[in-house]
Chain A
């Protein structure tokens, strides 16, 4: 039995033998997850049903106000988008901004004590794939790490094994953000002591890794510290998305990952020239 267990563990962790079988295995146990999730769902639908009329009216008004503001912003956005497109055409670099999206609901936050994952209620049947970016309305949340047929697991950006390429919005300095294992902290390793990064700078995805589309906010720098004599500065950041409090998330379909990478800043002719 023990040999069997150890064999299983090695097979799963080192050789990833079960990555395809896990889809089916996860589907087998998903009824238990639905049962565990049910009371919370019932409670939330219950509390939605017994709202007072006044609360509903207030909320409706609030939402309409928000909607008005957002629509007004959108008017400008359309204009900016077309302008941006024209400018990009002038520069010969196309970039895509439209992605297919899908709303998903968080089923449970808790998982293995050592990893930061959450369970969402969309799976392979909805077209979810491994490594798919997941965001909410505030910023990047994480990426899909395991897919079941109707549920999937999302590893969060604060997980100790997660890294995401970013750039500073203010001045395009690039960096990589690693998870720290704590819920509200991220690490930014290998930053030069004289790098132009300040506390409060917003980090957005750079799209260089090819997984995440470029331009989504990830974190804010919370501390920039350089001790004399050390190789790199100690930089920590806090995620902009409320990772432990969001109920609804968005799945993004990042169809053409390298389209965002802006690999060719020079025109192709110039690029080929030295080879001739």
Chain B
């Protein structure tokens, strides 16, 4: 087909029979609808069923949810509180840290800023599970663990601390690893946002009596990069809730001893693929998606309300 044929064909089709736009959007729309939208719908439907992965799903009403909230102690006492705690700490703290570091970087010359941005961004490139295996070497519970060795040789403790045996310390280490890897693309977006704010607004504000950098951040920087702030918040939420298997990687056991650091996503995968109770696992994933939405609406409210 030569060029002129293509053009005439296109011109003919544009207004009459077929809209070429469908060829553009079609391939993406099909995959998107099947592997994102439909999957969420199926997940929702399955949460009302008993399904073992082999036989046909059987409708059982709200039984999964009733079990979830009244009988599943592992969920109510470990997975749910752990997930909320983890999300409430790593989400907002990681997010504020990302903004703060982006802001600090923006105050420094370009060359240094680029190198520092690469360093800060690099942990989020690591598969957090693979890397947490290396954090394990740091926190190992014998005198060979690096932290323990330092504490012993400085005389702070007399015998090695069992970091990876205790529920609380495992959780703290998880938060640590989570924060360490929280400078993702949200951080890069906020950095660009700050660098692209209009200088003249700052000058005008200083003429109008703005006094310091803190006021500058509150009254100018954040309002003028609200879209990037929102993007950063969304990315922070996604990456926080997407983490599974961190505690298992740290302790080398699944489920973890005393369900330390056990998250809803871990609980869900355990039910889905170890116990083959996929209906029940789906009700867990619905709860997880609801939690994500709650966080999303809070963030949305914070950053969109006043424009």
Do the two chains bind? Answer: no
A residues sitting closer than 8 Å to B (CB atoms) are none
B residues sitting closer than 8 Å to A (CB atoms) are none
